[in-house]
Chain A
Amino acid sequence: MEIKMDLISEDKINSMGSMEKLRFVLDGVKSGNIVVLEGGLTSEEQMKLIELTMTEVTEDFPGIEMSGYPTKRGFLNLRRKTRLTVVGPAKIMHTIKKERDLISAMISAI
């Protein structure tokens, strides 16, 4: 089985509204794709993505696997720079190891 990977640029992500962004990610993941977001999602967006995912969990779609680098802090901690976020279907993606600057994940076809 082939697994599709969508690598989304930061410019494309920033051009979307918050809900549009989450819908885009979840639709991609529900289609069986691994979605990689350059620039990543904020913690609040990730929490909303969990919430949205939970409303759509079924027997065939148990949820998502999500991993990302933690945000970088800016001057006086006022600005946070999000980095990369990877989201995939929980059925096929499993994070094996996660560190501050390293994400190791296993993708296995069903």
Chain B
Amino acid sequence: MKSGKRRKGILSQILRVLFFRKKTAKVGIYGPPNAGKTTLTNRIIHTFVDENEDIGEATEIPHETRRAVRRGGIIIDLKARSLLTPGQNPNPNSKSESKRGKAKLKLDVVDTPGLATKIDFHDFMAFGLEEEEAKRRAKEATEGVIEAIKWLDDIDGVVLVMDCTEDPYTQTNIIIIGNMEARGIPCIIAANKVDLSDAAPQRIINAFPQHPVIPISALKGENMEGLYEEMARRFK
């Protein structure tokens, strides 16, 4: 039965590529709480839609995002972007740069609540929340986790955001990747927070060698071009 499901995943992937290729890719931004999912989603929107538009608020309190939020109609156009910011393209004649210039992808991004196996309201009180507010937040966070899982049925690709100052080999990360592989959904790992002094993106690369890992700082905007390029390639 397990291998049957796996075959189904591969078959649906082949059929999708051959016959049902969508013009707009629905990309889910997944990951554990506080990995920087909302910061990344905001960065994508600021870059390609409107620099004043935020999909959500990013704070240090876990489970700030408790509802999945979809932002449609984003066009990742690296050609237009390199024209707008010529300073970021020092060698436009090189092969890789000209390839990058052609990268274009129309997508909807879905910023999802952080996936977790436990939600304790006491953890929120440690951030200064009153007990009632912490309990309400915990209740909403459990609903958010369920919503994030349900969304997996409706997406075409995943950007899995990991905090590269933390141990990446967590069960939650392994479960997300295992589900993507079983469903045949392409997955990119964004090794976020490389701007921090204790960042170690190599640990993520070593832990998940079967998937592309792009070290980024969504907050500072470091290496975002590399991520967009990979997204355009994988989710097209």
By a CB distance below 8 angstroms, the chain B residues around A95 are: 171
Q: State whether A43 touches B120 (Cβ < 8 A).
A: no
Task: Count how many chain A residues have C-beta atoms less than 8 Å from C-beta atoms of the other chain.
Answer: 29
By a CB distance below 8 angstroms, the chain B residues around A80 are: 2-3, 6, 182
Say which one of A4-12, A30-38, A51-59 lies at the interface with B: A51-59
Interfacial residues of chain B within 159-212, with CB under 8 A of chain A in the complex: 167, 169-171, 174-175, 177-179, 181-182
Q: A42-B178, A79-B3, A80-B6 are in contact. Are A55 and B146 (CB under 8 A)?
A: yes
Q: How far is the CA of A71 from the CA of B179 in the complex (A)?
A: 12
By a CB distance below 8 angstroms, the chain A residues around B2 are: 42, 79-80, 82
User: B83-119 vs A: 1/0 string, CB under 8 Å?
Assistant: 0000000000000000000000000000000011111
B213 sits at the interface (CB 8 A):
no
**Closest CB in chain B relative to A85 CB, distance in Å:** 9
B234 sits at the interface (CB 8 A):
no
By a CB distance below 8 angstroms, the chain B residues around A82 are: 2
**Closest CB in chain A relative to B201 CB, distance in Å:** 19
User: A61-82 vs B: 1/0 string, CB under 8 Å?
Assistant: 0111111101100000011101
- Chain A binding surface, main DSSP class: mixed
B233 sits at the interface (CB 8 A):
no
Interfacial residues of chain B within 104-144, with CB under 8 A of chain A in the complex: 115-121, 135, 138, 142-143
Q: A44-B5, A51-B149 are in contact. Are A59 and B171 (CB under 8 A)?
A: no
Task: Count how many chain B residues have C-beta atoms less than 8 Å from C-beta atoms of the other chain.
Answer: 32
By a CB distance below 8 angstroms, the chain A residues around B181 are: 43
Q: A57-B138, A98-B170 are in contact. Are A43 and B182 (CB under 8 A)?
A: yes
Interfacial residues of chain B within 67-94, with CB under 8 A of chain A in the complex: none
Q: A50-B145, A55-B146, A78-B3 are in contact. Are A90 and B182 (CB under 8 A)?
A: no
- Indicate which residue in A44, A55, A70 contacts B174 across the interface (CB closer than 8 Å): A70
**Closest CB in chain B relative to A58 CB, distance in Å:** 10
B22 sits at the interface (CB 8 A):
no
Q: State whether B118 touches A78 (Cβ < 8 A).
A: no
Q: State whether A63 touches B182 (Cβ < 8 A).
A: no
**A→B interface (CB under 8 Å):** 42-44, 46-47, 50-51, 53-55, 57, 59, 62-68, 70-71, 78-80, 82, 90, 95, 98-99
